[in-house]
Amino acid sequence: RPSDTLTTLKTESETLKTKLEEERAKLHDVELHQVAEKIEALGQFVMKTRRTLKGHGNKVLCMDWCKDKRRIVSSSQDGKVIVWDAFTTNKEHAVTMPCTWVMACAYAPSGCAVACGGLDNKCSVYPLSLDKNENLAAKKKSVAMHTNYLSACCFTNSDMQILTSSGDGTCALWDVESGQMLQSFHGHAADVLCLDLAPSETGNTFVSGGCDKKACVWDMRTGQCIQSFETHESDINSVRYYPSGDAFASGSDDATCRLYDLRADREVAIYSKESIIFGTSSVDFSLSGRLLFGGYNDYTINVWDVLKGTRVSILFGHENRVSTLRVSPDGTAFCSGSWDHTLRVTNRFSYARLLVNWSGSHSVITPL
Amino acid sequence: MARDMSDKDILKMELEQLQKEVKNTREPVSKTAKEICEWVEAQSAEDPLIKGVPEDKNPFREKGGCIIT
């Protein structure tokens, strides 16, 4: 339709957007928090930071857990990528990237490699050597090439494929061994900032979020965008699938987190407060999906009751923006990374063991 | 790549996408929200960040210290 002007295209687009919202509204017969009214409220939450990982020389930008639930990979503005044992806080590996602002890093499912990238526009894979003295950079494999910065990366269900998102507005799926692009995903109108893979049981989809305020759900095999959501008022910095795969959460510079129900095809909850005015950089769910953790640019972490829409806790501790946050694979803790150069591992503080038997029976003090 | 596309091309891309999405099947929120709640309730009991982990079984507990038994 060569006669289409920008104006006619815009008008048609607006008309369709209105129609789409009308179709979605027809099935919006109740709110999530109304359905959740009968569910027992969560009690008091006391969280305690158990480990502080110090070693980065500048802002921590990204982190990921290893499937072994104890190792963590993190990347920083200073170009360093570090692999930590979070139980002992020991640094097991360190790599210096040829660029600064390593915005993305991910652990391979096998635990034998990490992927990372940033201002170099690439995603590279480093096999982790058992020999601590080996120079990891020597075995580096360049896998993905974008035409702008790498914002996020994650391995699919094996070490063989990596999904990437970029400032060039696209996402792509790559074969690690050959470096070949297997599929590309076009649809965002600006930088893509984040992505998350659907839980393996729910099939081959992933969700992405970007500077165009859109969250898109993609079919990995066809490259098609299946659904898209445009309710945020600013950049979407983080997206995370709900554990069942039927929904996803997003965090945005508009200071809200939102929940999108994929089968109802709409936003079903907004997690916000008038007092929260700084952007959300990263979000993740607890194991059951009942809690949503959000890291914010005002240095705090807010914990939300996903079903009731209320905040259950606010955590302080970081001395600068929280930039990245992930719950561990078995849900026992979460790790947050910050512009204050540190990472913190935090979990529930349980009072159970503080109860002392006062009935007079013999007590034994045992070192942990 | 979005950065290389003209405004017109971007709008065309968005239009095509909207035309597809309007035709998607959807379910009522009353049904899907109920299923989300049921799923969470079934899993909550085993969620370590909800029920907590006893200090002696906490893999991230501080090193040192004692418990009284």
Cβ–Cβ contact A268 with B under 8 A: yes
pLDDT tens figures, B52-66: 888 778 888 876 555
Q: What per-residue confidence (pLDDT) applies to B10? A: 86
Q: What per-residue confidence (pLDDT) applies to A355? A: 41
Tell me the domain boundaries of chain B. Answer: 7-42
3-state SS track over chain B: CHHHCCHHHHHHHHHHHHHHHCCCCCCCHHHHHHHHHHHHHHHHCCCHHHHCCCHHHCCCCCCCCEEEC
The C-alpha atoms of residue A233 and residue A235 are separated, in whole angstroms, by 7
Which 1-20 residues of chain B touch chain A by CB within 8 A?
1-5, 7-8, 10-15, 17-20
pLDDT tens figures, A11-35: 999 999 999 999 999 998 899 999 9
Residues of chain A falling short of pLDDT 70? 1-3, 132-133, 350-368
Q: What per-residue confidence (pLDDT) applies to A368? A: 42
| Least CB–CB distance from B18: residue in A6, A17, A29 | A17
Contact, A301 vs A294, CB < 8 A?
A: yes
Label the pairing between strands A113-117 and A225-229.
unpaired
Q: How confident is the model at residue B7 (pLDDT cuts 50, 70, 90)?
A: confident
B12 pLDDT more than 70? yes
Which 24-43 residues of chain A touch chain B by CB within 8 A?
24, 27-32, 35-36, 39, 42
